[in-house]
Structure formats: C-alpha cells, structure tokens
Amino acid sequence: MTQTLKPREGYVQAFAEFERGAAVGPSWLTPLRKAAISRFGEIGFPSRHDEEWRFSNPAAIAETPYELAQTGHGLRMTASDIASYAFEEMGGTRLVFIDGGYVPSLTVIGKLPQGAVVGSLSEAFAAHHPAIEPHLARYAKFDTAFPALNTAFLSDGAFVYIPRSAVVKEPIHLLFLTTDAGKPTVSHPRTLIVAEENSRATIVESYAGIGAGTTLTNAVTEVVVGQSANLDHYKLNRESLSAAHVATMQVQMAQQSVFSSHSINLGGSFVRNDANAVLAAEHIECTLNGLALIDGKRLVDNHTAIDHAMPNCNSHELYKFIVDEQGRGVFNGKIYVREDAQKTDAKQTNQALLLSADAQINTKPQLEIFADDVKCTHGATIGQLDPEQQFYLQSRGIPKAEARNLLIYAFASDVVSRIKVPALRAQLDAILLSELPRR
Amino acid sequence: MTTAESTLEEIARQDYKYGFVTDIESETIPMGLSEDIVRLISSKKSEPEWLLEWRLKAYRHWLTLTEPQWPNVTYPKIDYQALYYYSAPKAKKVLNSLDEVDPELLATFEKLGISLAEQQRLTGVAVDAVFDSVSVTTTFKGKLAELGIVFCSFSEAVHEHPELVRQYLGSVVPYSDNYYATLNSAVFSDGSFCYIPKGVRCPMELSTYFRINAANTGQFERTLLIADEGGYVSYLEGCTAPMRDENQLHAAVVELVALKGSTIKYSTVQNWYPGDKDGKGGIYNFVTKRGKAMENAKITWTQVETGSAITWKYPSCILQGDNAVGEFYSVALTNHRQQADTGTKMIHIGKNTRSTIVSKGISAGHGQNTYRGLVRINAGADGARNYSQCDSMLLGDRCGAHTFPYIDVRNPTAQVEHEASTSKIGEDQIFYCKQRGISAEDAVNMIVNGFCKEVFRELPMEFAVEAQKLLGVSLEGSVG
C-alpha cells in the first residue's frame, strides 16, 4: 500500500493485492468480498458528523495508514509467549489467532461432542462444512465501513459449530492476539458461531495485544442461535494501550433460544463495540451486559441494538462504565419494538461512575416502539463514589485507597457476578481490586 | 383489545374543534423570499437601521444553511419561495380602546373563547392578542406600566425600548442558531416583548393568544422576555388555528433572559390544526425556545402539545449562573398522522445548577411521538444535579413512541438520573373502572389525565383546566 494514497483508496488498492494473493476460500465468497469493498469504496470511513459516531471520532483510524498484518510472525510464537492471555485454568478448547492468522501449534482442542467443530474458517472451507455457506456473511450487513472492510478481507477466522442437542460443557476460548510489527497494521478477525437446535455451549472471545504496536483490530462475529439453543458468550478486550479495536457482533436468534453476552473492556486506546441482536421468533431471551474500565486517555464506545421483531420476547441490558483520569465512555443502546412485537419486555440499564474531574461520559439510551402492549424501560445514572461510604469504611480502619477500590468493586460486581466462567471472573476480580487504581 | 380499538377509532373520527376562517382583509406582500422581501418587511414596520442589518445578516447566513434532516419526522419538502412572509390585517385606524377594534376580529376571539372584554373584566389576565402577525390590541397596559413592567408587541418595543431590544435580541438564540431560527431572524413579523424591572413581581399572568389566519402565510413570531434581577413573571402562550388544506409553516423564536435571582415561568398550550385523519394539511411547527438563567435564577417551561401536523420543538435552559434552576414539564399528544419530535436541552454551566425534566408522550392512531433531550454537565458545573423522566403511553398498535435522550457529563461531582418507561392502558384498568360504574370513555380520560398529572400540576390554573379539556376532547367518544 502506498502511503501517499488517501485512506479509502489505500484500502481499495490493498484489496486488489489481497485478491491476487491471500484471498482463499470458496468461490461464492468472491462476489461478497467484491460487493463489500465496493460498498466501502462508496462510503469510506464515517466521521464525527455521523450520528452513530458522534462521540467517538474515527478520524485517527481513517488517517492512519494501516497495512494488512502479515500472519507469518505468529507461527514462531511459543506457548510461554501467550501464557498470560491463554486462561490455561479454563481447560477445554482454545483456538489461537495471531495477527489474523490461525496458529495450529498453539491451539488446543478439548473434548467435544460428536459432530461439533471448533477450528479455523479456512479448514471449514476446505472441508466444505454445510453450515458455512448459509450463515457466513449473511447476518452482519456490510453497509457500514468497518464490517464492509472485514468482509472484503475475509479469508480466515474462527468457526464454531455445535450440532443439534449437543452440549459442550467446558468453555471454548477464541483468542485473537496482535503483535507489534514496527508499523501500523490492521487485522480483520472473523468469527462464525452456529449453535443448532437444543444445543448448549459457552464461548469466550478474547482479544489481546502483545507489545505496544499501533494496531487496528476490526472484528466481526456472527452468532446464530438455533431453536431452544442456549449460548453463553463472553468478550474480553485486553488490547494494548496503543491499539484501536472496532468490533461488530451480530446475533440471529430462533424460537425459544437463550443468548447472553458479557462484554468486558479493559484495554485499547480507541474501542468501539457494536452488539446487535435480532429476535426473529417468539419466546426469546436475550441478555447483553457490559463493563468498561477506562483510564488514561482511552475511549470505550459501546453501541447495542436489540431488534424485537416478534412477540413475547424478553431482553435485558446492563452496561456499566468506570471512567478515571481523562477517559471517555460512550454508550448508545437502541431497542426497537416492531409493530407485531406485542408482549415485549425490554429492560435497559446504563450506569457510569466518574472518578476524576476530566472523565467524561456520553450516554444515549434510545427506545423506538411501534407496538402498544409492551413493557419497555430504560434507566441511566451517572455519579461518583459516595464520600460518606468511603468515610464509613475508613472509620473502620480500611485505608483510603482500599476503600475506594472496594466501592469500585461493588459498583462493578453487578456485572462481574453474572459471569459464569470462574477463570474469567477471578481475573476480573483481581484487576478490579488492585490493578485499576495503579494503572 | 376491543375497548382500546374502539377508542382508537373514535379518536380517529375526532374532528378539529377550532376550525374556522375569519374573513378579514389581509395585507400581504409578494410571495417568496429575497433580500428585497426582508427589506420590505423591515420598512413596512419602519424599523431602525440596526435591526434591518441584523435581519439581512440572518438572511445571508440562512442561504448557507440546509434544512436539518436529523429529526425523526417525515414531510414533503417545503418550498420556501412559495410562502408569504408577511401578512397584517389592514388596520382601519389607530386604536385607542377595545371598542375601536374590528368587530369581526373581536368575534373571532369570542369564538376562541378569549373575548378581550371578558378577559379584562373577569379574569384579570392581560392579553396581548396577536392576530396573524400584527398585534391588534394590548390590554392592561396601564396597570402594568405603574409597576414599570413593559408588555407590548415586539414592533412597539423596537420603537419604544430600542435599547432593551438591541441588548437582548439574539443574546440567547443567536441569528445563526439553526435553520429555522435563522429564517425567523430574517423575516420575523411580530411577537411579544416583556420586561420585568428589578425586584418586581408581575401581579398577573401575562398571556398572548397566537392565531394563524391568512392561508399560506408563514408565521414567524419573535418573543423576548426579560426578567431583571429578582423579578418574577408567569407567561402563558396558547394557540389554535383554522382548518387549512395546505401546510402552514410556523417558525417562532422565544428567548428568555432570567437575570440574577429572577424567575420566569413559561407555559404553552399548543393546539394548532393537526391535519385531517389522513395527515392532509396541518401546521408545521418548527420552534426554537431557549432561556438563559443567571445566578440563582429559575426558568420553568411547561408545555401541552396536542396540535400541529409536525412539532419540532426543544424549549431549553442554559444554566449559566451558579445555583440556577431549569425545569421542563411536557405533555405531547400525537393522533392520526401527527408527528412530534420534542424535548429539551439542559446545559449546566454554573456550579450547583439543578434541572428537572418530566416528559409525557401519548401516541394514538398513526401518531409518532419522539422525546429528544440533552443533559450536558460542563466541566465547571460542580455539584450539578439532573433528574429526567420520560414516559410514553401508546393507545393502539399503529402508533410509535421513541426516545433519544443524550447525556453528556464532564464533571465527576454531577448526579444525573434518567428513567423512561412505556405503557398502555390495560384492559384490566378499564374493566376495573367499568365495574365501578365509570364509562370506558371516562376511564380512558381519567387514566390519561392521571398519566399527565405531574405536568398539569405545573400549569397555571386557567391553563390546567384548558389542558385537561383538550385531552378530554381528544379522547371523547371512546365508549367501546
């Protein structure tokens, strides 16, 4: 990619190179990629004038000449290099991707029920897995810039397939690492999760950075939850403090399915998460929770959209922000209740804790309701630590700093206590009780 | 559902009760908008040079702007060259008392239920009646003048109190503020002006009745209210408009200046023609209302919005001084094909500033009701406090309720709370009432009025009665 090019043209040109080289996969993928890049060519990157990007200015991303990350570097890494990100104690299956490339040598496949597949997309392409074509790139629309780029550069990624009535007991860990290449690089991790009828699984998607490279992770995750399936999803963001992270999760839910997702954001200088769920049938239970710890000059922007397309569905959202120093938190939670979606019960809560004078939060809960027999509520609160509570703890001999931690921990525990993967919860506990104030 | 459905149908059949056209000779200027028209309006009103300059500045700025697309409303594109920008009832002679007023005009007011004579004698409310764009008569002037209160039409104020107008005009809503406010700044016809001197408590509720009359006349009101240090005023604004087929544009600007320790209470009942049940006709109401509160001052906006085809309106408070208080209470009802995108902005700048937002949206028929609000706590606003509540009620399954609350906080000592809920009138609630001998229609009426109680409580007495009646009228004939 020539650096003198404007960012938009740069990506379009990089795509031409990519198409000649690394673009592998089935033939039906080619027109999708072409459509995605031409869409990106039309619209380019969003600006602050786009309502969806009003409070998180993507100009820095648009102006940085990111090059497509080379995947070779990851193959030389050893288990000890990734130990601190691997959650060994979690057990089960772990897929490792470094700079967007699959690393089989670091991957561990645990016990899986018959028919279940956890592996790379390229393997699944080669095996002509029947669940790929009907689902991949069918839900995450590429009408906006970042999903369009991800779809255009789609060649590999994670693929999880849980067959009908199968139960995967141990969590499946999808680990995406980025390394410092000495120049700005971009990777486009792609994940497809298909849980068939009556199946059950727990998925942990985690993103982390090794070193302090200028990287952009532009991830897209598509989740298909079949009838009566139950999927527990966690996303952990521990990107390096100089990394930008933009991710879209698109969830498609069938009748009586249950899906819950917890998005935990600890790293990244510029983080934008879009979590979208389409409740396409009746009696669905959808939960989207989130927790963000923001310090330094970091920005975390959580956008959610829950589309109640059919009657008798429930959705719950709880998003918490802890903002310190010059950090900025942004929340936008959309709930759509379509004309036919009677008996919808949607609840959304957004709470922010501001710990410093320069911390900032922009929140915009948004309800769009077209049906009358529904229960929809949203609440947003913004506040600080209660000095009286702090005094109470101090008067009982707890040092000031510890008292502060304890109160922050209490604020976050609403979300943390809902996490059902012990290894994940333990790490969060440790961070909340010690690391945050010292960072 | 049966009761709710029939309620809906009844609401849909509901006619606009205030639709009539008064046959009065109107003086209009050529259609369209140009610099010449701006000059013509200014010269017709024999305005001073500085005001014409201000209008022209606004007009030139307006040419650079584009119509905002972000509101959650849809309507056919407005052709700004197909409007008349000035229309005044032809004055027969200079008027000294009510007896000299055109009897036809008086009859119109009689129909609206605001007979000036009646008002003057019985209610003690001073009414500055605006018929189309020119103030026809001002009452109670003498009484107010004794206290040093100025309450007159805007054009009168330009001539009699130019120093006040010049100092405060555009100080809260600058000419470059937004598309409609800029248009208004260029072509505003008339409006009300009020000045409350230091330490004076206005002894009566001031009220203006706006009324759009001549077909195709955009109404560009300009209201400026100034409460000097320690002053108090309660201001009432109410509107009805005759039935029209073509959409009428209304782009008013209201500026409130609440100086140190003063209080301004601004109440509105808006019942302009909403269009027929297919959405034909009706007023486009694109209004900019904003108040600036200095130290210890308080501004309260209360509004009941039942009319207009499209309402685009965000009465806002800039809480500039320390300890300033801003309040916003709103009931917005959309029926048939009405669309409302309304809410408020509370900008906290001073320390210990407080604001309260209570918004009640009711949607029926195919109505679309949007609450859009902003609460901003600036970095210097230590100890700022906001409480917001926005509730929606849906009557029927073809209407919509939307909320877009923006909350921007840049100060850790701020406390901000926002709550929103959506509900409907339950079959069980209506059944309960019917069981006790209350008709379904009365039950619906009662429940809706109960839903809005928090807002009605903030209205002055006369308005509270009118507002309840208005809602009652909208829900009339809903027996299943």
> What is the band of B10 on the pLDDT scale with cuts at 50, 70, 90?
low
Are residues B84 and B29 in contact, defined by beta-carbon separation less than 8 angstroms? yes
Per-residue model confidence (pLDDT) at position B21: 55
> What is the band of B436 on the pLDDT scale with cuts at 50, 70, 90?
very high
B416 CB neighbours in chain A (<8 A) are 380-383
Residue A24 tokens read as: 């592998």
Q: Rounded CA gap, A151 and B344, in Å?
A: 41
End-to-end CA distance of chain B: 10
Best mean pLDDT range from A231-240, B98-107, B179-188: A231-240
Inter-chain residue contact A380 with B414, CB threshold 8 Å: no
A367 CB neighbours in chain B (<8 A) are 392, 401-403, 420, 422
Per-residue model confidence (pLDDT) at position B247: 56
Tell me the mean pLDDT in the region B164-190: 89
Is the model more confident about B177 or about B1? B177
Across the interface, of B397, B398, B410, the residue whose CB is closest to A360 is B410
> What is the band of B123 on the pLDDT scale with cuts at 50, 70, 90?
very low
Inter-chain residue contact A361 with B407, CB threshold 8 Å: yes
Tell me the mean pLDDT in the region B290-305: 92
Tell me the mean pLDDT in the region B331-341: 86
Q: In angstroms, what separates the C-alpha of B339 from chain A's closest C-alpha? A: 13
Q: In angstroms, what separates the C-alpha of A371 from chain B's closest C-alpha? A: 5
Residue B276 tokens read as: 């027929």
B417 CB neighbours in chain A (<8 A) are 379-382
Per-residue model confidence (pLDDT) at position B394: 85
User: Which alpha helices (H) appear in A48-109, and where do they start and end?
Assistant: 59-63, 83-86
Q: Rounded CA gap, A286 and B61, in Å?
A: 49
A366 CB neighbours in chain B (<8 A) are 402-405
Percent of chain B with pLDDT over 70: 75
Q: In angstroms, what separates the C-alpha of A264 from chain B's closest C-alpha? A: 22
Inter-chain residue contact A366 with B397, CB threshold 8 Å: no
Residue B288 scores a pLDDT above 50? yes
Q: Rounded CA gap, B472 and B223, in Å?
A: 30
Predicted ipTM > 0.90: no
Per-residue model confidence (pLDDT) at position B249: 80
Residue B105 scores a pLDDT above 60? no
What residue of B is the nearest CA neighbor of A340?
Answer: B397
* DSSP secondary structure, A332-357, as one string: EEEEEE-TT-TT-EEEEEEEEEE-ST
Find the angle CA(A63)-CA(A69)-CA(A75) to the nearest 5 degrees. 160
pTM as predicted? 0.80
Per-residue model confidence (pLDDT) at position A237: 94
Mean per-residue pLDDT of chain B: 78
B2 — contact with chain A (CB < 8 Å)?
A: no
SS3 A149: helix
Per-residue model confidence (pLDDT) at position A439: 41
Q: Which stretch of A302-306, B16-20, B350-354 has the lowest confidence by average pLDDT?
A: B16-20
Q: In angstroms, what separates the C-alpha of A112 from chain B's closest C-alpha? A: 45
> What is the band of B209 on the pLDDT scale with cuts at 50, 70, 90?
low
pLDDT, one tens digit for every residue, chain A (439 residues): 333 446 778 888 888 888 887 767 888 999 999 999 999 999 889 988 888 898 888 888 888 888 888 877 777 888 888 888 888 888 889 999 999 889 999 999 999 999 999 999 999 999 999 999 999 999 998 889 999 999 999 988 999 999 999 999 999 999 999 998 888 999 999 999 999 999 999 999 999 998 888 999 999 999 999 999 999 999 999 999 889 999 999 999 999 999 999 999 999 999 999 999 999 999 999 999 999 999 989 999 999 999 999 999 999 999 999 999 899 999 999 999 998 898 999 999 999 999 988 899 999 888 888 888 888 888 888 888 888 999 999 999 999 888 888 899 999 999 999 999 998 898 888 878 776 554 4
> What is the band of B132 on the pLDDT scale with cuts at 50, 70, 90?
very low
Q: Rounded CA gap, B55 and B185, in Å?
A: 6
B452 — contact with chain A (CB < 8 Å)?
A: no
Q: Are strands B134-138 and B126-131 parallel, antiparallel or unpaired?
A: antiparallel
Inter-chain residue contact B413 with A366, CB threshold 8 Å: no
A363 — contact with chain B (CB < 8 Å)?
A: yes
Q: Rounded CA gap, A439 and B389, in Å?
A: 37
